[in-house]
Amino acid sequence: MVLWLVDSSQRGAVFRHKARVWLLLLPLILVYVVAFSALSVVRHNNFYSSTFDLGIMAQVTWNTAHGRWFETSIDRATNAGLIGSYLGNHVRPILLFLAPLYRVWPDPRLLLILQSVALGLAAFPLYCVVHKQTGDAWAAFIVSCCYLAYPALGFLNLVDFHPVAFSVPLILLAYWALHEERTALFWVAVLLALSVKEELVIPIAVWGVVNLLWGKRRRVGLGLVILAGVWAILCFGLIIPTFNEGQPYRFWQLWIKLLGGVSSDQGGTAQPIGSASFETIALYLIHLFLPLGFLPFLGSTGKSQRTPPQEVGVNGKARDLGAAAPEGFSLRKSRRKAPGSFTSFLVALPSLAYLLLGERPAFHSVGYQYPAVLIPWFFLAVSEGLRRLHRPGRLRLYRLGLAFMVFGTLGINIALNPICLYAREGMFQPEPHHDQIAEALAQIPPDAGVATVNRLGPQLADRRVLVALEYPAPLRLDHLEMVDYVLFDLVDCRVVPAPDPRASYGEIVTQIMGTGDFRVRYWAGRILLLERGEPAEGETEAVLAYVADLVEQDRPCWP
């Protein structure tokens, strides 16, 4: 607090100026939270959410809320036991904090709403960071608005629920707390960020290394490296093998790609490892950086910022903060050696490389949850880039950078707005088979074991036994012995991991019907509900004939 440096009349003007900006930002955050909460819930109600991953997260949270910590039966088709621990796949202790809320309202829609609230509220620490680094409340407002309109953020919010989304507000909060010297809050935010997914050890460790290399807050940097290292050893060396039947971390092969660089095709042209072309990678990078105005690339590293930043005063003119610093600044702090605008961008580089070199097509798209580990660092790099421009002689470039960010955000949303794209796919409208699905679901008891397809799993997640039929393959028939009901959409084979998903899905139906353990409880068009019991005469033949006809016609998996 250094507003005492200015006279009382000017101090009041500064407060009124900041209040006007806050009054503009608060409604925008509220609109974001309400809109994305509502759209996420509507998408779920229309059966467009999926077992992978909303169903998994809901079941794990529901079990944890009832004292069965991290228990799950999903994503265990290749394990000896159907019911096991989710800790064998991922380590996400943050679900422990969500479990009490889920006990009060046991519904996957709670997770969707919490995710929207967390991502919307992240605009607050981002605003504070930009305002502190530039002294410009309007610039902080603009960056916060661009954050709320960032396409990758919108897709992250709408594509089911993923605990990694909580890393966005937590990283921004930790960064702000570090530069405000609020030590306790900083370490709490870092620990919570590590708890969202074991993958966060990478950016947290790199953040520590960056602080060590730049000679600023070396103790903090060393603490981050040690903390990330210890957590990595616990996750990969102890927790995951213990709960994965002694097997190592199943996603190691995704990170090993970082060691390979690029390969060459038969013509000698360099190609990225994995299936993505350079055109796909280039488009992905444009989708990531155009809305940011390419501001993370500005500046240079390791230089001292000896000229104090300037604040845009209430009269629209820049004021030297050495004369009147805004809240959170002092002349002494403004003269400290500050790392350049590449520091936060450097933290994101290993995760970005992991996505660029990965083989999954979803890694090269902003339409999934994977950019979550990049988003906070990219916007922090934007703030650091603006800080380097907000100096005498560069204010024109500073304003151009902000303008380019605004136009980049508006432009990319014309072509890649998540709400518009989801609406175009009909995800906010009931599908033609909505009533049949609802009728089939109503006939399943709440405590019964169920096997079902990917898009219907979230509706049935609050139970101990839920089996995913299509993925991962192969389906273990012995796991079906714990199932009382099987719910099919006989047409939807989109997630079947096979070269011919239609034929492979037909084989799954044939296997289950061939056991002779299930009879038809409900069948309306493509929606089939089986119940444990001896099938009536002709039922099995009728179902298999329907499926064989789909295979013969080579019926598309969707719609």
Looking at the structure, tell me whether residues 511 and 546 fall in a common domain.
Answer: yes
State CA 505 to chain mean position distance.
Answer: 29
For the chain, what is the mean pLDDT?
Answer: 86
Tens-place pLDDT, residues 460-499: 999 999 999 988 777 888 889 999 999 999 999 999 999 9
Looking at the structure, tell me whether residues 370 and 514 fall in a common domain.
Answer: no
Q: Classify residue 543: in a domain, yes or no.
A: yes
Q: Classify residue 559: in a domain, yes or no.
A: no
Residues 374 and 348 sit within 8 Å (Cβ to Cβ): yes
Share of the chain above pLDDT 90, in %: 73
Does the pLDDT value for residue 268 go beyond 80?
Answer: no
- The side-by-side arrangement of strands in the sheet containing 450-452 is 466-468, 450-452, 485-489, 527-532, 518-524
Q: Positive or negative CA dihedral for 472, 477, 481, 485?
A: positive
Looking at the structure, tell me whether residues 186 and 234 fall in a common domain.
Answer: yes
Share of the chain above pLDDT 70, in %: 84
Looking at the structure, tell me whether residues 462 and 372 fall in a common domain.
Answer: no
Confidence label for 543 from pLDDT (cuts 50, 70 and 90): very high
- Using the 3D structure, point to which of 378, 401, 424 is the last residue of a domain: 424
pLDDT of residue 479: 87
Verdict on whether the full-model pTM lies above 0.85: yes
Average pLDDT over residues 142-151: 98
Q: Determine the length of the chain.
A: 559
Q: For Cα atoms 282, 288, 289, give the angle at the middle one, nearest 5 degrees.
A: 90
Looking at the structure, tell me whether residues 334 and 419 fall in a common domain.
Answer: yes
- Using the 3D structure, point to which of 424, 453, 474 is the last residue of a domain: 424
Looking at the structure, tell me whether residues 169 and 298 fall in a common domain.
Answer: yes
Written as six digits, the tokens of 370 are 């994977």
Does the pLDDT value for residue 320 go beyond 50?
Answer: no
Q: Classify residue 99: in a domain, yes or no.
A: no
Looking at the structure, tell me whether residues 409 and 454 fall in a common domain.
Answer: no
Looking at the structure, tell me whether residues 447 and 353 fall in a common domain.
Answer: no
pLDDT of residue 421: 96
pLDDT of residue 398: 93
CB-count burial class (<10 Å; 0-12, 13-18, 19+) for 202 = buried
Q: Classify residue 100: in a domain, yes or no.
A: no
pLDDT of residue 549: 97
Confidence label for 319 from pLDDT (cuts 50, 70 and 90): very low
Average pLDDT over residues 232-260: 79
Comparing CA positions, the residue from 230, 176, 236, 177 lying closest to residue 204 is 230
Q: Classify residue 315: in a domain, yes or no.
A: yes
What residues pair up with 72 in beta bridges, in sequence order? 84
Residues 39 and 419 sit within 8 Å (Cβ to Cβ): yes
Looking at the structure, tell me whether residues 7 and 146 fall in a common domain.
Answer: yes
- Residue carrying the six token digits 């991991």: 497
Does the pLDDT value for residue 308 go beyond 80?
Answer: no
Tell me the C-alpha distance between 332 and 49, whole Å: 52
AA letter at 284: Y
Tens-place pLDDT, residues 324-376: 333 333 333 333 444 444 589 999 999 999 899 888 889 999 999 999 999 99
Quote the domain boundaries for residue 458: 434-553
Confidence label for 247 from pLDDT (cuts 50, 70 and 90): confident
12-26, 72-86, 263-277, 336-350: least confident range: 263-277
Tens-place pLDDT, residues 279-288: 999 999 999 9
Looking at the structure, tell me whether residues 416 and 476 fall in a common domain.
Answer: no
What residues pair up with 86 in beta bridges, in sequence order? none
- Using the 3D structure, point to which of 371, 389, 424 is the last residue of a domain: 424
pLDDT of residue 214: 78
pLDDT of residue 6: 36
How many domains does the chain contain in total? 2
Does the pLDDT value for residue 435 go beyond 60?
Answer: yes
Looking at the structure, tell me whether residues 467 and 378 fall in a common domain.
Answer: no
Q: Classify residue 101: in a domain, yes or no.
A: no
pLDDT of residue 217: 85
The widest CA-to-CA distance across the chain, in whole angstroms, is 91
pLDDT of residue 330: 36
Q: Classify residue 388: in a domain, yes or no.
A: yes
Looking at the structure, tell me whether residues 217 and 315 fall in a common domain.
Answer: yes
Does the pLDDT value for residue 57 go beyond 50?
Answer: yes
pLDDT of residue 104: 97
Q: Classify residue 63: in a domain, yes or no.
A: no
CB-count burial class (<10 Å; 0-12, 13-18, 19+) for 504 = middle
